[in-house]
Structure 1
Amino acid sequence: MPQFHWINEPAIWRNENDQLTVVTDGQTDFWRETWYGFTRFSGHFWGCEVQEDFTFQARIRADFHTLYDQAGIMFMVDEQHWLKAGIEYNDGQAAIGSVLTQGGSDWATGSFNGDARDFWMRLTLRDDCLRLQYSADGLIWPLLRLCRIVKTRRYQVGVMCCTPERAGLNVNFSEISLTPPNGKALHDLS
């Protein structure tokens, strides 16, 4: 496993027994301009550098209950080009969603049919395209998003969490893996 590092290291975290536990700082987020007019790059991101195509996967556990509580995975080119995805609490419930930022952010969200306190995320980069999947059980992996990303020689991929409206979301990341791209067909749900 490559060396992981923090962007916006939280005050409270530990990495032991192949599990990363984080307690979010207050008013943390990743967002650029759209709708709200502000830019934030204060969320917690624990990632590593990648230079080749890959599949990255993680299991995420947290108790989301305050507006915009969020945790999941993230792919980053730079502060203006990135993708974050996972569970985010909005409209009175935990929802699955993703934010693709290419200058400005977009946000796509939907219902999560599982226990949002325990879920998996998977991201595959192949030929400058990102295939984003999620799972409620670690076995079945529906497609959440397919998109192109800015081509460059180096990227960062890892896990993220944010709490724009508060501090104190306790998040556990486990089963973190970074492998060559899994080579599965687009609609292969395994």
Structure 2
Amino acid sequence: MTPWTGLHWLNEPDWSTEDQTLRMTTQGQTDFWRATHYGFVRDSGHVLHTGPLQDFTARVRVEGQYQALYDQAGLMVRSSPAQWVKAGVEFVGEQQLSAVVTRDFSDWNVRPVGHPETVELKMTRCGDTLSVQVRLPGQDWGLLRLAYYPPEIPAVVGVFACSPERAGFQVQFSDFEVGAPEEGALY
């Protein structure tokens, strides 16, 4: 059994699994965004996700071929097209750590990360809080984002990838796991 067994696709891309690794190739003009600054709504990105959950910690290791503007991959928590959080690596001139929190309208933060071969991501949902942590090779976990997430709304969690400017962004995910919230994972 792989960590990908029993998960569900939203906007299924070209994909394959080998051992514990999921490889995904995006379709063109795929993204998740709602209104802010750009004025459009996009809900076409690819997500492989669990069923609805309340509190959890999800982790994954991501490696992508980031080349075109807004190529992105990571973890996503989602309750509806208007209520979600995505976090990972996004190409904006260079690789950036990125998080978007959406409650009807999207907000976005980025931080340059250089060119690491892989990035590990961890999302913890506990009560009304969602914590996004990142670990680069040879470093400890660090906080990327701490956000409010309505505690009464179940959410799915999984891996996502998008490429608004092109088709063919290739990304692989490994070490994916979802379990009980880790103690100390919230700041």
* 2:66 paired residue number: 64
| Unaligned 5+ runs, structure 2 | none
**Deviation string for 1:67-115 (max 9, x for gaps)?**
000000000011000000011011x211001000000100111111561
* 1:38 paired residue number: 40
| Unaligned 5+ runs, structure 1 | none
What is the TM-score when the length of structure 1 is the normalising length?
0.91
Against the structure 1 CA distance between its residues 185 and 164, is the aligned structure 2 distance closer, same or farther, given a 3 Å change threshold? Answer: closer
Alignment size in residue pairs: 184
**Deviation string for 1:108-128 (max 9, x for gaps)?**
11111561x311100001112
Q: Distance in 2 between the 1:106 and 1:165 partners?
A: 20
8 Å CA contact 1:77–1:150 kept in 2: the answer is: no
Pick which of 12-21 and 120-129 moved more: 12-21
8 Å CA contact 2:100–2:107 kept in 1: the answer is: yes
* 1:154 paired residue number: 154
Pick which of 139-148 and 172-181 moved more: 139-148
**Deviation string for 1:120-170 (max 9, x for gaps)?**
100001112101101112751100011111233521000000000001111
8 Å CA contact 2:54–2:151 kept in 1: the answer is: no
Question: Aligned-pair RMSD on alpha carbons?
Answer: 1.6
Q: How many angstroms does 1:51 deviate by?
A: 2.5
Q: Distance in 2 between the 1:6 and 1:96 partners?
A: 24
Quick one: which amino acid aligns to residue 85 of structure 1?
A
* 2:163 paired residue number: 163
Which aligned pairs between 1:63-142 and structure 2 lie closer than 5 A? 63-90=65-92, 92-113=93-114, 115=116, 117-137=117-137, 140-142=140-142
